[in-house]
Amino acid sequence: MAWVIKMCRKDFPFLSKNISDELIYLDSAATSQKPNSVIQKLHDFYSYEYAPVHRGIYSLGEKSTIVYEDVRRKIKNFIGASDACEVIFTKGTTEGINFVATAWAQKHLKKGDEIVLTHLEHHSNLIPWQQIALKKGVILKFIPITKDGYLDLTNLDQIITKKTKLVSFAHVSNVLGTHAPVKKIVSAAKSVGAKVLIDAAQSSPHKKIDVKSLDCDFLVFSSHKMLGPSGVGILYIKKSIQDEVAPYQFGGSMVCEVFYDQSTFQQPPYRYEAGTPPIAQVVGLGAAIDYYKDNIGWESLKNHEASLCTRTIDGLSQFEQIRILGPVEQLKNSGHLVSFVVEDVFDVHAHDVAAYLDTKNICVRAGHHCAQPLHKELGIKASIRVSFHVYNTLKEVELFLFAIEQMLK
Ligand SMILES: Cc1ncc(COP(=O)(O)O)c(C=O)c1O
């Protein structure tokens, strides 16, 4: 694996050139760095191949459309979908969830119906449902967490009931790194006929996604966390429920025929992609998928990131002022992030820790990580999160631990 990582680091100009020679980037759960192949693809596409898709009756436009649709097929294979029409290009995870809330839940849920979430959710998988609850009189219920940061399924049969119409949860938590017990949750949801949405923002960059074995109806993720460009993401909608999902936005590209008083719409996926899509970003995402395919094995990635988490946890555990959040054993086995707080005589604010680390050229995330309710539940205002990707090394973890030791002194 060391060989893979060494070979891989040189693919990321951010890590091998300019000021970032000395920069330690431990914030990939927020957004990842990009390999040369993605940057080059964007450069080449914009330089020589750029044209509108699904419109130009000229070779360049046709070529651009072929490249764009080819990425859709790549994603279909990447996530194990049955048909390319199940892959919808969005702006990202947040838009994907808002899409389902507006285009499906808004229409199909009624007063008294229930949506089940978990206490681990990112605001993106909470606030859209709060809005549906406010507008429709739908009730939100939550799967709680245990003291160790696992999802607590003890009372699952009282949380997911016949009233449940949707269960929506993070595959992997962006704060605690908890991996959701998908099979148990999905089978409880299916047993009452509820739809399932999986927020794969934190899982798709680090583990194989297979929508068939996950047995979900919707799945969302963002390109920018998985080595691809920002501004594009994926919404998977299972083909068999697409009749229930209305268009999310209306305008160009998604229509068959338009009159002054009414319009007819295309079949999926086009009916779900109104307006000019993020063409170059989709092409860049295709290059990121190729990079995963050609350079990253899921098992080696997992082992590598787990070894970085293990060293981080063991190192931080030496300091009595530090409290590690989350399911430590699971993180040591398959994590890609570690969150913690510094509890000294005076609590040290997470922002101060991040600012100190910044003086040592170490980038970490500090704050509530878009999960304020979870932080409130943990009895803290903010935490510090270090997160990894394929390009991080044990040496970086050692330098981070050394900086923390210096700070505590
Ligand atoms: C679990 C989770 N869900 C949703 C999001 C939102 O993703 P985006 O900002 O790319 O839409 C994030 C981003 O951090 C996340 O970690």
Give residue 301's pLDDT.
96
CA–centroid distance, 245 to ligand 1, in Å, is 22
Report, at the CATH architecture level, how domain 40-293 is classified: 3-Layer(aba) Sandwich (3.40)
pLDDT in tens, 289-298: 999 999 999 9
- The tokens 């080059």 sit on which residue? 40
CA–centroid distance, 289 to ligand 1, in Å, is 19
* Averaged pLDDT for residues 159-176: 98
Report, at the CATH architecture level, how domain 2-26+297-408 is classified: Alpha-Beta Complex (3.90)
How many whole angstroms separate alpha carbon 163 and alpha carbon 171?
23
How many whole angstroms separate alpha carbon 254 and alpha carbon 246?
12
Q: Would the CB of 124 count as within 6 Å of ligand 1? A: yes
Tokens encoding 355: 């600012």
How many whole angstroms separate alpha carbon 332 and alpha carbon 309?
6
- The tokens 């998988």 sit on which residue? 125
Q: Where is 237: in which H helix or E strand?
A: strand 233-237
| Contact in structure between 156 and 192 (CB atoms under 8 Å) | no
Half-sphere exposure of 392 (CA within 13 A, CB side): 34
| The one-letter amino acid at 190 | K
| The one-letter amino acid at 207 | K
Tokens encoding 366: 């500090």
| The overall pTM is greater than 0.95 | yes
Q: Would the CB of 203 count as within 6 Å of ligand 1? A: no
The domains of the chain are located at 2-26+297-408, 40-293
Tokens encoding 87: 């892959």
pLDDT in tens, 8-36: 888 999 887 654 557 999 999 999 999 99
CA–centroid distance, 172 to ligand 1, in Å, is 11
